[in-house]
Amino acid sequence: MPERLKLYFNPRSRAVTARWMLEEVGADYELVPIGFEADDANKQALRAVNRMGKIPTLVLSDGTAISETPAIIAWLADAYPEAALAPAVGTPERGPYYRWLFFGGSCIEPALTETMMRKDAPPLPKTSVGWGTYEDVLATVEEAVSTSPYLLGERFSAADLYVGAGLSFAGMFGEPQVKANKVLQDYVARVTDRDAYRRSQSQ
Ligand SMILES: N[C@@H](CCC(=O)N[C@@H](CS)C(=O)NCC(=O)O)C(=O)O
């Protein structure tokens, strides 16, 4: 899909994951820098397309805006099928692919937030919160990648990009359970050992 895309971006944010995906699919894109200060020059334009004012936000050439990192990743995987980062729609493998993308957003993200930002608070009730416990979330990913290199088996997919980015972020910020887990560390090393990942890290 040859079109020029626009990514509202800050190098110290989740937008780096969206940029990694743009690099994976070989998209033609520009970065629109967003500072975290309230009076940032591009904040108004961002709010016009995403009232949350959150990044990443991807804008297509027709003006359609997509926010939420996993939605951006999923859209790009489908829009650039030649990159082969998602199983075809309707195939059995598409199910686990969705499962891991949504697991990233609805389990890994909030579990990480709970463990990293509410260290001194008692854990939320595991039968009520969608992610159960942080320990269960990590063990679930660990189990999946201990017998095969990637979440869907032998082939890297966009789900690995999103799940791997979350775990990599946790490790970078010194989250002790991810850091101490060799299976997860090896997985992160495997999924980030890619030229597109390295390009996405440049400032
Ligand atoms: N649910 C969103 C979260 C996006 C998000 O919270 N982004 C942060 C940066 S990592 C942000 O834009 N913070 C600035 C703000 O809230 O004003 C996603 O998955 O992309």
Residue nearest to atom 2 of ligand 1 (CA): 68
Helix (H) or strand (E) holding 21: helix 15-25
Residue nearest to atom 12 of ligand 1 (CA): 54
* Per-residue tokens: 153: 């088996």
pTM: 0.97
- 54 CB within 6 A, ligand 1: yes
Residue nearest to atom 9 of ligand 1 (CA): 13
Percent of the chain with pLDDT over 90: 94
Query: CATH 3.40.30.10: does it fit domain 4-85?
Result: yes
Does 2 have pLDDT greater than 80? no
At 38, the pLDDT band (50, 70, 90 cuts) reads confident
Q: What is the mean pLDDT of residues 153-159?
A: 98
- 53 CB within 6 A, ligand 1: yes
Q: What is the pLDDT of residue 192?
A: 98
H helices of 26-172, where? Answer: 43-49, 69-79, 94-103, 109-117, 134-146, 158-172
Taking Cα atoms as reference points, which of 176, 182, 166 lies closest to residue 115?
176
Strand partners, 184: none
Q: What is the mean pLDDT of residues 164-192?
A: 96
Q: Exposed, middle or buried, 149 (CB in 10 Å: 0-12/13-18/19+)? A: middle
Q: What is the mean pLDDT of residues 140-155?
A: 98
**Pairwise pLDDT comparison (123 vs 46), residue with the higher score:** 46
Tell me the pLDDT tens digit for each residue of 49-62.
999 999 999 999 99
Mention every residue, 6+ apart, whose C-beta is less than 8 A from residue 29.
Answer: 4, 5, 6, 7, 22
At 202, the pLDDT band (50, 70, 90 cuts) reads confident
- 149 CB within 6 A, ligand 1: no
Q: What is the mean pLDDT of residues 188-200?
A: 98
Q: What is the mean pLDDT of residues 123-132?
A: 96
At 16, the pLDDT band (50, 70, 90 cuts) reads very high
- 13 CB within 6 A, ligand 1: yes
Tell me the pLDDT tens digit for each residue of 81-122.
999 999 999 999 999 999 999 999 999 999 999 999 998 999
- Residue spans of the domains in the chain: they are 4-85, 94-198
Distance 134 CA to ligand 1 centre (A): 21
Does 1 have pLDDT greater than 60? no
CA gap 178, 175 in Å, rounded? 6
Matching CATH topology for 4-85 and 94-198? no
- 58 CB within 6 A, ligand 1: no
Q: Which CATH architecture has domain 94-198?
A: Up-down Bundle (1.20)
